[in-house]
């Protein structure tokens, strides 16, 4: 794949990449160094240092204070200063006073929570468009939601693709769009990633670059595994399987528009633009035979309900009834390993804290099990790799590595896609198990050699 032959790239910059003038300069250099970076999606200014407050959080605070009848003068002045300091430090001839006056007035006159939050991206978009000399395109006119608040992808794609054709380049603020009645509506937190993906689809881009403050995904959590290798390529499905790990780097909903359009996403680091980052693709058959594992991710905080009943497999509707009991408490399940006469349901412990007894009672009433038990303190580890299906013995290597570390495996679930193996271990063994698996598959080849 020749990534230099692309002719349209959509580039999204996260809040930490646009937190101050110094970062704006880095962003400007990145954009101007590649003439195919035509459409730019900014977040609102993020934290400049630990302990700093994101502009979006300050805007939510403004909204809260205003709706409780308080004054927002001081708070709003601080928001204003975030932008004015960027404008000043960059030496731009841009005066946003009228915008500030209008926004402050609107927040003070019940303009709505989403409207308030969206102004972070709106103002940052105005500054960035001015700095780059790009057109400003307001997503309020093109990114649309249905009356029930869900995203209207087709109307958006039609409106936005028509509009983008009229511009040689443009800055489209992330995070918001509008409802059929014209009021502003935002995506959930981190939603500028979603806007970037929507713009990439509408622009028929060849690549969606998502610039953040890390050089892509790592094969394992660096807080657990020392200096893990970066992932060069990952498929959307693998990423879903590793979602415990991806959390925080990319908004989950950002995958759908580009996946639909077959556009790869490249996660890049604004502070290390020379790093190639991670490319997320629809599919690739290619894998490095030495790299059977794409990544390892895991999480603590699960519990397993195990239901035993003789001849369970012959009883029609057994599984449905068990799952219905859980659904009735509005809980979703994580995994469903089963045997001939046993069925286990893995659930998030925090989610069932309050409904646990009711779930057990419902299951007992509807399937009359011979025995039912709940085991606490389970951690799940997902070992994921598109190469696993083609190479023998991967599961054995996982089990051996964990056993050699003296750890007991409490649950095994090989995903039906043969893309993953999930094991459950005691929470106390979680970190040691992660390290053992990583060492078995990766660390002998040295860190960061891709």
Nearer to ligand ASP, 56 or 294 (CB): 56
- Ramachandran angles phi, psi of 357, nearest 5°: -60, -40
Nearer to ligand ASP, 47 or 356 (CB): 47
Q: Is 15 in the site for ligand ASP (CB under 6 A)?
A: yes
Closest approach of ligand ASP to the CB of residue 179, in Å? 18
Count CB atoms within 10 A of the CB of residue 268.
25
Give the closest residue to 177 by CA, choosing from 117, 129, 124, 130. 117
Q: Which stretch binds ligand ASP (CB under 6 A): 146-154, 184-192, 226-234, 283-291?
A: 184-192
Looking only at residues 318 through 357 of this chain, which bind ligand ASP when binding is defined by CB under 6 A?
none
Q: Which stretch binds ligand ASP (CB under 6 A): 21-29, 183-191, 273-281, 335-343?
A: 183-191
Q: Is 250 in the site for ligand ASP (CB under 6 A)?
A: no
Say if residues 287 and 386 touch (Cβ distance below 8 Å): yes
C-beta nearest to ligand ASP: residue: 192
- Ramachandran angles phi, psi of 26, nearest 5°: -60, -45
Closest approach of ligand ASP to the CB of residue 175, in Å? 4
Identify the residue among 139, 174, 177, 257 touching ligand ASP (CB under 6 A): 174
Beta strand pairing call for 409-414 and 176-178: unpaired
Closest approach of ligand ASP to the CB of residue 289, in Å? 38
The single residue listed with the structure tokens 């069925």 is 343
Q: Is 189 in the site for ligand ASP (CB under 6 A)?
A: yes
Closest approach of ligand ASP to the CB of residue 106, in Å? 18
C-alpha angle 227-230-236 in degrees, rounded to nearest 5:
140
For the window 18-57, what string marks contact with ligand ASP as x by the rule CB under 6 A? Answer: -------------------------xx---------x-x-
Closest approach of ligand ASP to the CB of residue 45, in Å? 9
Count of residues touching ligand ASP (by CB under 6 A) = 13
- In the DSSP assignment, the letter for residue 338 is B
Q: What is the CA radius of gyration of the chain?
A: 25
Q: Which stretch binds ligand ASP (CB under 6 A): 28-36, 191-199, 209-217, 327-335?
A: 191-199
For residue 165, with 0-12 CB atoms within 10 Å meaning exposed, 13-18 middle and 19 or more buried, which class applies? exposed
- Rounded to whole angstroms, how far apart are CA atoms 172 and 121? 9
Closest approach of ligand ASP to the CB of residue 187, in Å? 7
- In the DSSP assignment, the letter for residue 231 is P
For the window 115-154, what string marks contact with ligand ASP as x by the rule CB under 6 A? Answer: -----x----------------------------------
Closest approach of ligand ASP to the CB of residue 15, in Å? 5
Closest approach of ligand ASP to the CB of residue 46, in Å? 7
Torsion of CA 217, 218, 224, 225, to 10 degrees: 180
Tell me the C-alpha to C-alpha distance, in Å, between residue 58 and each of 3, 150, 173, 264, 375: 39, 25, 18, 33, 42
For the window 56-95, what string marks contact with ligand ASP as x by the rule CB under 6 A? Answer: x---------------------------------------
Nearer to ligand ASP, 111 or 305 (CB): 111
Identify the residue among 108, 191, 228, 387 touching ligand ASP (CB under 6 A): 191
Exposure of 366 in the CB half-sphere (CA atoms within 13 A): 19
Closest approach of ligand ASP to the CB of residue 114, in Å? 11
Identify the residue among 76, 100, 175, 318 touching ligand ASP (CB under 6 A): 175
Give me the residues paired with residue 212 across strands: 269
Say if residues 231 and 281 touch (Cβ distance below 8 Å): no
Count CB atoms within 10 A of the CB of residue 402.
22
Closest approach of ligand ASP to the CB of residue 174, in Å? 5
Q: Which stretch binds ligand ASP (CB under 6 A): 26-34, 147-155, 188-196, 241-249?
A: 188-196
Closest approach of ligand ASP to the CB of residue 192, in Å? 3
Identify the residue among 190, 216, 257, 298 touching ligand ASP (CB under 6 A): 190
- Rounded to whole angstroms, how far apart are CA atoms 378 and 54? 35
Give residues with Cβ within 8 angstroms of 208, minimum separation 6. 9, 10, 12, 196, 197, 200, 258, 263, 264, 265, 266
Tokens of 400: 């051996």
Positions in the binding site for ligand ASP (CB under 6 A): 15, 43-44, 54, 56, 120, 174-175, 189-193
């Amino acid at each position: 794949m020749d990534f230099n032959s692309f002719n349209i790239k959509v580039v999204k910059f996260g809040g930490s990449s646009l937190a101050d003038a110094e970062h704006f300069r880095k962003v400007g250099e990145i954009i101007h160094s590649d003439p195919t970076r035509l459409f730019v999606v900014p977040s609102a200014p993020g934290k400049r240092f630990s302990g700093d407050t994101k502009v979006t959080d300050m805007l939510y605070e403004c909204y809260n204070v205003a709706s409780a009848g308080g004054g927002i003068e001081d708070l709003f002045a601080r928001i204003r200063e975030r932008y004015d300091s960027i404008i000043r430090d960059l030496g731009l001839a841009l005066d946003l006073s009228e915008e500030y006056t209008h926004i402050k007035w609107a927040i003070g006159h019940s303009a709505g929570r989403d409207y308030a939050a969206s102004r972070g991206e709106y103002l940052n978009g105005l500054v960035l468009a001015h700095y780059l000399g790009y057109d400003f395109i307001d997503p309020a006119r093109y990114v649309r939601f249905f009356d029930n608040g869900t995203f209207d992808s087709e109307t958006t794609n039609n409106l936005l693709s028509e509009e983008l054709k009229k511009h040689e380049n443009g800055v489209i603020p992330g995070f918001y769009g509008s409802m059929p009645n014209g009021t502003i509506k935002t995506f959930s937190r981190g939603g500028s990633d979603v806007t970037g993906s929507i713009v990439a689809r509408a622009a028929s881009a060849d690549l969606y670059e998502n610039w953040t403050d890390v050089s892509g995904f790592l094969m394992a959590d660096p807080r657990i595994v020392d200096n893990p290798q970066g992932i060069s390529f990952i498929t959307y499905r693998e990423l879903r399987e590793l979602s415990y790990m991806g959390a925080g780097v990319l908004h989950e909903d950002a995958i759908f528009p580009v996946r639909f359009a077959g556009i790869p996403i490249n996660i890049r680091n604004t502070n290390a633009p020379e790093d190639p980052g991670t490319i997320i693709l629809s599919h690739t058959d290619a894998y490095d035979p030495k790299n059977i594992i794409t990544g390892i991710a895991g999480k603590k905080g699960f519990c397993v309900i195990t239901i035993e009943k003789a001849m369970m497999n012959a009883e029609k509707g057994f599984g449905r009834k068990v799952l219905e009991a859980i659904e009735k408490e509005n809980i979703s399940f994580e995994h469903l390993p089963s045997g001939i006469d046993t069925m286990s349901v893995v659930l998030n412990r925090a989610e069932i804290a309050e409904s646990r007894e009711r779930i057990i009672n419902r299951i007992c009433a509807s399937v009359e099990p011979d025995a039912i038990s709940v085991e606490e303190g389970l951690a799940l580890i997902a070992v994921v790799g598109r190469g696993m299906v083609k190479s023998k013995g991967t599961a054995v290597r996982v089990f051996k590595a964990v056993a050699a570390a003296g750890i007991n495996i409490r649950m095994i679930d090989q995903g039906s896609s043969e893309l993953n193996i999930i094991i459950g271990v005691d929470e106390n063994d979680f970190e040691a198990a992660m390290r053992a698996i990583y060492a078995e598959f990766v660390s002998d080849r040295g860190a960061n050699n891709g």
